[in-house]
Structure 1
Amino acid sequence: MYSIGVDLGGTKILTGLVDHVGVIYNTVERSTKAEDGPEAVIERIARSIEEVTETVSINEICGIGIGAPGPLDSLTGVVLSPPNLPGWDNIPLRQRIEERFGIPTFLENDANVAALAEHRFGAGRGVDDMVYITVSTGIGAGLILGGRLYGGAGGFAGEIGHIVVDANGRPCVCGNRGCLEAVASGTAIGRKAEQVFNRPVSAKEVAAMAATGNPEARAIFDEAIHYLGMGLVSIVNLFNPSKIVIGGGVSRIGDAMFHPLSRKVKERAFPAPAAMVDIVPAQLGPNSGLLGGAALPLTQQAGSKKAESVLKGEFV
C-alpha cells in the first residue's frame, strides 16, 4: 500500500509514490511556473500524480498529501494567499485534487509536513514530543506533541519565526518588530552582512568568515545565534520537547551553529527540560516535503481502516 506526497513550492513541484516506511518509488519534478496562475499549477500537480502512479492500481493508494506554502487552512484544504504563489487567493486545492482522483487528500503547510516527515522517517523517529524548525529565507516550525502533529484551534500553530525576541528590533515582513525571523533567518544574516561588507553575502559565507576569525562576521553570526538560541529557550520551556530538529539552508552550517545553540539552551532554559532535549540536524534534506506529504494520509485519515492498517505495517 502506498501514499502520494506532493511538495508544492514557488519554483518546483516534487511528487512521489511512497510506502509506509518511507521508501520512495517514483518521483516527478516539474517547474511550478506560478506566474501561469492557480489553474495551470493545479493541472501540473495532477499530471505529476498521474505519472508517479502509472505502475500501481488506484486501490493500492490510501491517500494524497500535499505540502504547500502558507498561509493556508489545513482544516478546509484552502490555500489562502501565499506570497510566492501569486493569484492563489482562497484556492480549494484539496477539493480540486480529491475530486480529480477520488482519493482522500490532505493539505498542510510546508513546515508542518517537514516536521511530520522528520518525526516519522527522520531525525525525530521514536519520540512523541519534538519541534521541527526550518531556518532558511525565513524561520518556520512544526510541532509534534503527544506523537501527533499539533496545529492549534485553527491550524495556524507553530509560527515560531514570529516570536518577538527584541521588542525594539528590526522590522519584520509580518509588520511587527524584532521577530526571530527578522534577526536570525538566513535573510536577516545576509542583510546585516551586506550592510557591513557593502556586497551580497550569504549566511553560509558569514559563518565561514566568522570561523576564520573575521571580527565583523563573527559579531553578525554570534548575534543571530544568540537570538535563535533564545527562541529555542522559549520553545524548551514552553513545550518540553525531547528533540528540536533543525533543517533549512542555514542548518547546513553544522557544528558552528548546533554547539552554541545547545550551550545557550543549557545555560538559559529551565534545567530539567534543558537536560531532556537534544538539538539535532534534520536528516531528510530536499525530500522532507515529499515524505511529509506522503505521511499525511497515514496520520490524519481518522477512522480509516486502510490507513490504520498501513500504519501497523499490514500492507507492504
Structure 2
Amino acid sequence: MVYIAVDLGGTNIRVARCNAEGQILARVGYPTRAEEGVEAVIARIIHAIQEVWPADEPVEAMGVGVPGPLDPHTGVVLTAPNLGWENVPLADRLRDQFHVPCFVGNDANLAALGEWQYGAGRGHKHMVYLTISTGIGGGVITHGVLLEGAHGLGAELGHIVVEAKEGPRCGCGQIGCLEAVASGTAIARMAQEAWARGDPVPWPDPSGVTAKDVAEAAARGDPIAGAIMDRAAFYLGVGIATFWHIFNPTLIILGGGVMKAGDWFLEKIRTYARERAMTLAYVTPIVRTALGDHVGLLGALAYARMRCAQGSPA
C-alpha cells in the first residue's frame, strides 16, 4: 500500500509517492506560481499527483501540507497569505479528483509529525519542531500526539510575541511576533534597515539582500551582518526557552533555510536559550532537522497515516 504526499509552498509544489516506512518511491516538483490564481495552482497539484500515481497499486490516502491556518477536519484552507488563498476546499477538490481519502494539515505541524515519525524526533514522546525560513512555523508532539488545538489552529509558534511594545509589525498584522524578528524575511529587513541608517554594510544593493547573504557575511566576520544574525539568534533563544517552559519537551528540532547558516548560528541559539531557562531542568537538546528538504513530504505522509489510523473522515 502506498500514499501520496503533497508539500504545497508559496514557491514550490512537491509531490511524492511513498510507502509507510517513509521511502520516497517517486517525486516531482513544480513552481507554485500562486500569482496565476487558485485554479491554476490546484491544476498544477493534480498534474503532479498524476505523475507519481502508481499504475498497478492502490493508494491508501493522500496527505497535504499547506502554509497558513486551515481546518483539518474539513480540509478547507482558511487563509494562506503566501498563496493568496481564502476558504479554499482543497481536500474536497483532490478527493473528488482521485477518489481516495485526502487529509490537509498545516505544513509546520506536519513537518513536526514527519520528524517525529521518521527523523530526529524518533523515540521522543514530547518534542517541538520549529521551521525558520521566510516565516516561522512550528509543531508540537506531546504524549506522542500531534497538538492541533480545538479547531486545528494550534502551535503557531512563530506568532508568540517577544517584543510587544516596540517590535516590528508581523505579516500576520500583530506587533513583535517571533517571526517578525527572527525569520529569513526579518533578517533581510534588518539588513535593509542597516543600509538605510548609513551603516557600513557589506552589500551594495540592499533591495535584493537575503538572509543567506547576511549569514554568509556574518560567517566571514562582518560586524554588521554578525549583529543582525546575533539579534535573530537571541530572539530564537527567547522563543525556545518559552517553549521549554510551556511544553516541557525532551527535544527541540530546528529546520528551515535560515538554519543552513552554520554551527556557529545554532550555538548562539543554544546559548541564548539556556540563559533564559527558568532552571536547567527545562534544558534539552536543540538539534537540526534530520529530514532536510524531505521533511514536508514525509510530514504529509505521516499525517495521512495518522488520520487513517484514527479513522478520521476523509
Report the TM-score, using the length of structure 2 for normalisation.
Answer: 0.90
Partner of 1:54: 54
Partner of 2:201: none
Alpha-carbon distance, 1:272 to partner: 4.5
Partner of 2:115: 118
Please tell me whether the aligned partners of residues 124 and 243 of structure 1 are also in contact (alpha carbons under 8 angstroms): yes
**Secondary structure of residue in 2 paired with 1:80:** strand
Partner of 2:269: 261
Q: Distance in 2 between matches of 1:213 and 1:9?
A: 33
Partner of 2:180: 182
Q: Distance in 2 between matches of 1:52 and 1:124?
A: 28
Structure 2 residue 292 is the aligned partner of structure 1 residue 285: yes
Please tell me whether the aligned partners of residues 211 and 258 of structure 2 are also in contact (alpha carbons under 8 angstroms): yes
Residues 293-308 of structure 1 correspond to what in structure 2 (within 5 A)? 293-304=300-311
Partner of 2:214: 206
Please tell me whether the aligned partners of residues 65 and 107 of structure 1 are also in contact (alpha carbons under 8 angstroms): yes
Partner of 1:96: 93
Seen in structure 2, the aligned counterparts of structure 1 residues 12 and 202 have a Cα distance that, compared at 3 Å, is: closer
Residues 148-297 of structure 1 correspond to what in structure 2 (within 5 A)? 148-168=145-165, 169-197=167-195, 199-200=205-206, 201-275=209-283, 277-297=284-304
Residues 62-81 of structure 1 correspond to what in structure 2 (within 5 A)? 62-81=60-79
Partner of 2:5: 5
Alpha-carbon distance, 1:122 to partner: 1.2
**Secondary structure of residue in 2 paired with 1:166:** coil
Q: Distance in 1 between matches of 2:303 and 2:80?
A: 21
Please tell me whether the aligned partners of residues 65 and 297 of structure 1 are also in contact (alpha carbons under 8 angstroms): yes
Deviations 1:11-48 (A, max 9, x none): 32211111111110011223333233323322322232
Seen in structure 2, the aligned counterparts of structure 1 residues 57 and 211 have a Cα distance that, compared at 3 Å, is: closer
Please tell me whether the aligned partners of residues 2 and 57 of structure 2 are also in contact (alpha carbons under 8 angstroms): no
Please tell me whether the aligned partners of residues 244 and 280 of structure 1 are also in contact (alpha carbons under 8 angstroms): yes
Deviations 1:193-227 (A, max 9, x none): 12223532332332333334332222222221111
Please tell me whether the aligned partners of residues 127 and 147 of structure 1 are also in contact (alpha carbons under 8 angstroms): yes
Unaligned runs of 5+ in 2: 197-204
Residues 26-37 of structure 1 correspond to what in structure 2 (within 5 A)? 26-37=26-37
Structure 2 residue 109 is the aligned partner of structure 1 residue 109: no
Alpha-carbon distance, 1:176 to partner: 1.8
Q: Distance in 2 between matches of 1:213 and 1:71?
A: 39
Deviations 1:238-278 (A, max 9, x none): 10111111111110012112112222222221324434x11
Paired amino acid for 1:234: T
Deviations 1:128-147 (A, max 9, x none): 11111111111111111111
**Secondary structure of residue in 1 paired with 2:190:** helix
Percent sequence identity is 48
Q: Distance in 2 between matches of 1:204 and 1:297?
A: 33
Q: Distance in 2 between matches of 1:289 and 1:142?
A: 12
Q: Distance in 2 between matches of 1:278 and 1:62?
A: 36
Seen in structure 2, the aligned counterparts of structure 1 residues 264 and 67 have a Cα distance that, compared at 3 Å, is: same
Q: Distance in 2 between matches of 1:75 and 1:17?
A: 23
Instruction: Tell which deviates more after alignment, 206-215 or 240-249.
Output: 206-215
Paired amino acid for 1:74: P
Seen in structure 2, the aligned counterparts of structure 1 residues 192 and 67 have a Cα distance that, compared at 3 Å, is: same
Alpha-carbon distance, 1:235 to partner: 0.3
Structure 2 residue 16 is the aligned partner of structure 1 residue 16: yes
Q: Distance in 2 between matches of 1:189 and 1:28?
A: 31
Paired amino acid for 2:31: S
Instruction: Tell which deviates more after alignment, 153-162 or 25-34.
Output: 25-34
**Secondary structure of residue in 2 paired with 1:108:** strand
Structure 2 residue 25 is the aligned partner of structure 1 residue 25: yes
